[in-house]
Amino acid sequence: MRLPPLPTVSEIVHLYQLTARKQLAQNFLLDMNLTRKVVRKAGSLNGGFVCEVGPGPGGITRAILSTDAKQVVVVEKDRRFIPGLQLLADACEDRMKIVHGDILQTKMEQIIPETYRVPWEDKPPNVHIIGNLPFNISTPLIVQWLEDMACQSGAWSYGRTKLTLTFQKEVAQRMVAPISSDMRCRLSVMCQYLCDVSIKFEIPGKAFTPAPKVDVGVVHFVPLVKPRINLPFKMVEKVCRHVFHYRQKMIKHSIATLFPVDMPELTAEMFERSDLDPSSRPPELKMRDINRLCNAYNEICQQHSFIFDFDYRSRKHAKLLRRGRNTLTEQLEERILVDLPDSSNHSVEMPAS
């Protein structure tokens, strides 16, 4: 669709004296060739619903409105950008709505029309989330959205909603990092066990205003019909967080942090259940290896309900460990004793006189 004559994005910036705020990690993308390319990488928007995160002065917004997207909602935290965005909303009549708020607090299910809902097993709905994310919220936001995907809640209660987002180049590379890569980390596994994830292209830092010291990657996410690890998100996230805590060391050191120090037997049990080599290193682990570790930890947590809440870094748990050391040990001993043969069956029978 063609928009009516409007001030350029640069003119909007000067008209409303918009400057990027460092504390909000703002960087404007004003080059319309690049904003249109970002939107193209999201796929066909014809007749669809688009939510843009952090539109700022509206560069990507204009590119979205120039497509045949039926409805566009922009979520903007900084009130300074609202007047410029309102010019766009007025120019395209009822196609665009502005939500003033923090995307980390926004309930996505409340802004997506019910008509776009499809079953999870079907093709992704005609719903798209696009955004040039500030660096300071990009990682917490994608982790939050990955959890929504795993729970099929929020925007993912409508089906396998796709994402096209910008990240600092190094973060983008971590998301797609293959096995044995130096970039392989917790975020790699968390993204890849739930999505097909790819870097569509890179944008040099000098293309932004003000220019950051790093380049930017445009990352596309398509949620999988079946996750590669079939366990609750928080279970997978905790195991991955601990596994990659010591990235360059053998995984036996990382796995040990999942359990109280006086229960080393559980670390050994993890490797017995998962059938993995304790001398392996985290970046070498394949998705099926992570899956085995998660399932082994889940089974141990089912046997010892207090284990999942254990945090080796917490002062609270350090105190509890000191006070409850005997209790923890007793629980372990009770489990071991259950597996031992009954001593009453092995009494020595004295000969009759």
Residues 240-256: tens digit of each pLDDT:
999 999 999 999 999 99
Residues 174-201: tens digit of each pLDDT:
999 999 999 999 999 999 999 999 999 9
Residues 265-290: tens digit of each pLDDT:
999 999 999 999 999 999 999 999 99
One CATH from 3.40.30.10, 1.10.8.100, 3.40.50.300, 3.50.50.60 for 233-339: 1.10.8.100
Left (φ > 0), alpha (ψ -120 to 50) or beta: where does 31 sit?
beta
Contact 63, 42 (CB under 8 A): no
Contact 73, 111 (CB under 8 A): yes
Position with higher pLDDT, 204 vs 343: 204
Is a pLDDT exceeding 60 seen at residue 339? no
Q: What percent of the chain has pLDDT over 70?
A: 86
Residue 138, token pair as written in the block:
């990009």
pTM of the predicted model as reported, rounded to 2 decimal places: 0.86
pLDDT at 345: 39
CATH topology of domain 9-223: Rossmann fold (3.40.50)
The DSSP-derived string for 226-267 is S-SS-S-HHHHHHHHHHHTTTTTS-HHHHHHTTS-TT-HHHH
* Domain boundaries, given as residue ranges, for the chain: 9-223, 233-339
